[in-house]
Chains A and B, each alone.
Chain A
Amino acid sequence: MTSWLQPHRLLLLVVGGLTVFFLTVPTLLVVPMGFSSSQILAFPPPGWSLEWYQKAFTDPQWTSGFANSLQVAALTAVVSSVLGTLASLGMVRGRFPGKNLVNALILSPLIVPVIIIAIGMFSLYVRWKITGTLLGLVIAHSTLAIPFVVVSVSTSLRTIDRNLELAAQNLGANPARTFLRVTLPLILPGVFAGALFAFLTSWDEVVVAIFLTTAKFRTLPVEMWEQVRQVVDPTVAAVATVVLTVTTTVLLLAFVVRRQSPVT
């Protein structure tokens, strides 16, 4: 029988362990750095303090960035989950020519290099006078987030039992009522998970935001980007830890939601 004590399998385990380390530990190192008592980012921290967290939560630059990011991400989640769900219904249930092309269109924001998206949008949004506005950034982030909603909702749509809908219709429900009372509740976990992924897409997005924001209206990642390139005091590490905490919480929530999707 195969055993984990065979040399090549042991080697595989070691390599796997090192890879998990490589994937996770470097990022987590910013956490202790944010609690450092040092004025610079020194490792190991000479002592501990909450000074940088205090700064992160009181300095108006950071707090307004935080508020702006939350706002943009929440609105992006709403806009892209509505548009993404509609698109999923059209793509999974719909029949029309050029479907492969539309599929490519919907997924293309995942693939086109983000710097191209950023300068392209900047160049056109300037003419429409929506750069530096909440509206402009929410629109931009929604285009980036829609693919994640579509992937999530389409999966839900494919797994639901269509007999339930037929049963509702046989019992006299009209199409709208069937959708609202049967289909929508069944795909809701997929929609909700998609909305959370959309939130994360916007929450972490920096390149498009660099071009579409101004000093008056900045998101947290853009503020971080400005700081990282100039002075690096441990405040950035504290903010990075806050960003990671929000991301991880939302992600775990998304996984829990998806897990509860109805199994047919």
Chain B
Amino acid sequence: MRPVPPVPLARPRSGRRPSGGRIVNRWAWLALPTIAFLVVFFVAPLILMSLRSVTDPPNAGLRNYAEFFGSEADVRVLINTFYIATISTIVCLVIGYPYAYLMNIVRPRVAGLLLIAVLLPFWSSLLVRTFAWEVILRDTGVINSILLNWGIIDRPLTLMRNTLGVIIGMSQILLPFMVLPLYTVMRRIDPELTRAAANLGAPPFAAFRRVFLPLSLPGVIAGSLLVFVLALGFYITPTILGSPRETMISRFIADQVQQRLNWGLASAMAVILMALTFVALFLASRVVRIRDVYGALGDES
């Protein structure tokens, strides 16, 4: 297995090529069935749901939105979602940056192994990984059993059904999305630059801080925004590891649909979540191409 190929991170000039003749060539038509499929089965449901946020109950207008922002408990869900997403992003950055840095300086073979350690969990079932954390973190779980057996504690620690558990689980699951953009950017930094700084007398840390760190910032920004966006929409992990009192927005949306059949409010919240996602993603796309991140997840040609 070889490491990810260097991919162009600069945004391509928006597709205006010197067109030789027709605007649409024959190959273009091949994309049509897929576009139609996605519009009917993916986009239409989202549009319909957005409409439902202002038409359910009939003539709701902005009432669902008013209800949401008027309720202190509902707004707290949103704030809690931001809080957990922010902390998870920071944890991922703190763990992911040194890891990507290590991948960047070791021999290619070792870098490949470190990459597998990121890719295998990415593709493993999110539910299984969350379940594994439940097995580890609960009162009778792995950590508490070991600590009790060794006599380090005499009552089990509360490691889940709270924010701590959610952040542990989410950070582990989201870590690949931080490491890959970071590594992609770091690979493109010319090692001669830090070496030059060192030759000119910079102590190692100064060479890193003044030269390497600023050059790796696009990766930091892209990775952080990506992790943050994905964290905003997490459902399974916070539901299993979190407290029912401190839910995140996805769980709230699901509960509105499944338990209260309140489609209007659920749709309004979904629209808010979607808007937040697009804003963050738009910012990320200024720095890095999203497809490069996902390309690196499966692809090593």
Chain A contacts with B in 188-213, Cβ cutoff 8 A: 190, 193, 197, 200, 203-204, 206-207
Judge if B41 is at the interface, Cβ distance under 8 Å: yes
Chain B residues whose CB sits within 8 angstroms of the CB of A78 once the complex forms: none
Segment of B62-70, B119-127, B181-189, B209-217 in the binding face: B119-127
Within the assembled complex, what's the spacing in Å between the Cα atoms of A218 and B27? 39
Q: Hey, what's the 0/1 contact readout for A232-264 against B, CB within 8 Å counting as 1?
A: 100011001001100110010011001101000
B277 touching A100 by the CB < 8 A rule?
no
Segment of B46-54, B72-80, B150-158, B159-167 in the binding face: B46-54
Distance to closest chain A CB from B125 (angstroms): 4
The interface residues of chain A, by DSSP majority, are classed as helix
**Number of B residues with CB within 8 Å of any CB on chain A:** 90
Chain B residues whose CB sits within 8 angstroms of the CB of A19 once the complex forms: 95, 98-99, 117, 175
Q: Hey, what's the 0/1 contact readout for B97-135 against A, CB within 8 Å counting as 1?
A: 011011000000000001001111101111111011111
Within the assembled complex, what's the spacing in Å between the Cα atoms of A21 and B142? 15
B133 touching A95 by the CB < 8 A rule?
no
A95 touching B24 by the CB < 8 A rule?
yes
Judge if B34 is at the interface, Cβ distance under 8 Å: yes
A204 touching B274 by the CB < 8 A rule?
no
Within the assembled complex, what's the spacing in Å between the Cα atoms of A159 and B277? 33
B205 touching A97 by the CB < 8 A rule?
no
A89-B270 contact in complex given A16-B98, A113-B250, A117-B46, C-beta closer than 8 Å: no
A156-B301 contact in complex given A95-B17, A247-B125, C-beta closer than 8 Å: yes
Chain B residues whose CB sits within 8 angstroms of the CB of A143 once the complex forms: 37-38, 41-42
A190 touching B301 by the CB < 8 A rule?
yes
A16 touching B48 by the CB < 8 A rule?
no
Within the assembled complex, what's the spacing in Å between the Cα atoms of A179 and B50? 42
The interface residues of chain B, by DSSP majority, are classed as helix
Judge if A103 is at the interface, Cβ distance under 8 Å: yes
Judge if B200 is at the interface, Cβ distance under 8 Å: no
Within the assembled complex, what's the spacing in Å between the Cα atoms of A197 and B300? 13
Chain B contacts with A in 140-155, Cβ cutoff 8 A: 140-142, 145-146
Segment of A38-46, A58-66, A161-169 in the binding face: A38-46
Distance to closest chain A CB from B241 (angstroms): 11
Distance to closest chain A CB from B61 (angstroms): 19
Give the A-B contact count at a CB cut-off of 8 A.
Answer: 283
A116 touching B46 by the CB < 8 A rule?
yes
Distance to closest chain B CB from A256 (angstroms): 9
Distance to closest chain A CB from B15 (angstroms): 5
Closest A residue, CB atoms, query B263: A123
Judge if B235 is at the interface, Cβ distance under 8 Å: yes
Chain A residues whose CB sits within 8 angstroms of the CB of B135 once the complex forms: 29-30, 33, 41, 43, 237
Judge if A172 is at the interface, Cβ distance under 8 Å: no
Judge if B10 is at the interface, Cβ distance under 8 Å: no
Judge if B283 is at the interface, Cβ distance under 8 Å: no
B131 touching A240 by the CB < 8 A rule?
yes
A26 touching B30 by the CB < 8 A rule?
no
Chain B residues whose CB sits within 8 angstroms of the CB of A139 once the complex forms: 41
Judge if B281 is at the interface, Cβ distance under 8 Å: yes
B175 touching A99 by the CB < 8 A rule?
no
Chain B residues whose CB sits within 8 angstroms of the CB of A207 once the complex forms: 235-236
Judge if A70 is at the interface, Cβ distance under 8 Å: no
Chain B residues whose CB sits within 8 angstroms of the CB of A225 once the complex forms: 127, 236
Contact of A255 among B1, B102, B254 (CB under 8 A): B1
Jot down 5 A-B pairs with beta carbons below 8 A, ordered by A: A83-B34, A105-B35, A111-B290, A204-B127, A232-B134
Given contacts A24-B120, A204-B123, A204-B125, 19 further A-B contacts (CB under 8 A): A26-B172, A29-B136, A43-B141, A90-B28, A93-B25, A94-B28, A94-B30, A95-B24, A100-B14, A106-B38, A107-B290, A115-B273, A119-B254, A119-B270, A143-B41, A193-B298, A204-B128, A206-B236, A240-B125
Closest 10 CB pairs of A and B: A113-B233, A90-B31, A94-B28, A120-B45, A93-B27, A87-B34, A94-B27, A96-B28, A90-B30, A115-B250
